[in-house]
Amino acid sequence: MAHVVVVNDQGPDEEIVSVLGESGVATVTEAMGRTGLLDPCIRPIYRGARIAGRAVTVLSQAGDNLMIHAAIEQCRPGDVMVVATMSPSTDGMFGDLLGTALKARGVVGLVIDAGCRDVSDLQEMGFPVWSRAVSAMGTVKATAGSVNVPVVVAGAYVRPGDVIVADDDGVVVVPLELAKETAVLAPQRTESEAEKRDRFQNGELSLDVMNLRTTLTSLGVRYVDEQGQVLPDASPR
């Protein structure tokens, strides 16, 4: 297959990206029916970062970061670079030099299904990376790959222009055609959780707030005393 760099203008509205970023990974995946998550082996190199942005995808030969260099030019402010490799790798294909270049271009973070190095420097400069591994093993710049083609990253299908949301919980991809709808559903979920949180804080039981007693009954779960005698109600004696 020919290797290509696709110049892609497609992407979500800024407002949608910002709502998805505020919602966070757990809420966004729930709003999409528990889909879109990357395998949790992809971890942030430091805690506390929360980003969202348009995906610029890279398909690289393992242990070769030539195409990451080629992809920098295709990035615009607010983007997230997403790197997949053609075979499994934990090599440190990305570090603070590339981080500096991406940051200068306004890229808000990187997701890489391989290794990352210079993690203290990246943390200090505030460039968040989600990677499969931290590894000092260096790479070459010698083999062709592609930029802005659909890729599978840690089990998730990512197309250029999709929205990537990443935080301490992991990474989720929102397909571009679902972004608008998800940006409506996710805040509704956040609001409903806030309501539940208030009620839990006031001492209400989740069994009541979430109507789970009916579920327990329908599943045949019974309250019994220590002798196994069925009790009329659930009150602790």
Ligand X SMILES: O=C([O-])CC(=O)C(=O)O
97 is an annotated ligand-binding site residue: yes
- With CB atoms as reference, the residue minimizing the distance to Mg ion is 95
CA distance 104 to 102: 5
Q: At a CB cut-off of 8 Å and minimum separation 6, what does 26 contact?
A: 169
95 is an annotated ligand-binding site residue: yes
212 is an annotated ligand-binding site residue: no
Residue 209: is it exposed, middle or buried by C-beta count within 10 angstroms (0-12/13-18/19+)?
middle
Instruction: Check binding of 128 to ligand X (CB under 6 A).
Output: no
Instruction: Check binding of 139 to ligand X (CB under 6 A).
Output: yes
Token digits of residue 151: 């890729």
CB under 5 to 8 A by kind: which of ligand X, Mg ion, none does 98 bind? ligand X
Q: At a CB cut-off of 8 Å and minimum separation 6, what does 201 contact?
A: none
CB under 5 to 8 A by kind: which of Mg ion, ligand X, none does 65 bind? ligand X
* Dihedral angle, C-alpha 185, 189, 192, 198, nearest 10 °: -150
Instruction: Check binding of 142 to ligand X (CB under 6 A).
Output: no
96 is an annotated ligand-binding site residue: yes
Nearer to ligand X by Cβ, of 119 and 179: the residue is 119
162 is an annotated ligand-binding site residue: no
Nearer to Mg ion by Cβ, of 25 and 110: the residue is 110
DSSP symbol at 230: B
Nearer to ligand X by Cβ, of 117 and 132: the residue is 117
Instruction: Check binding of 118 to ligand X (CB under 6 A).
Output: yes
Of 32, 44, 29, 22, nearest to 170 by C-alpha is: 44
Site residue total, ligand X (CB under 6 A): 10
CB under 5 to 8 A by kind: which of Mg ion, ligand X, none does 139 bind? ligand X
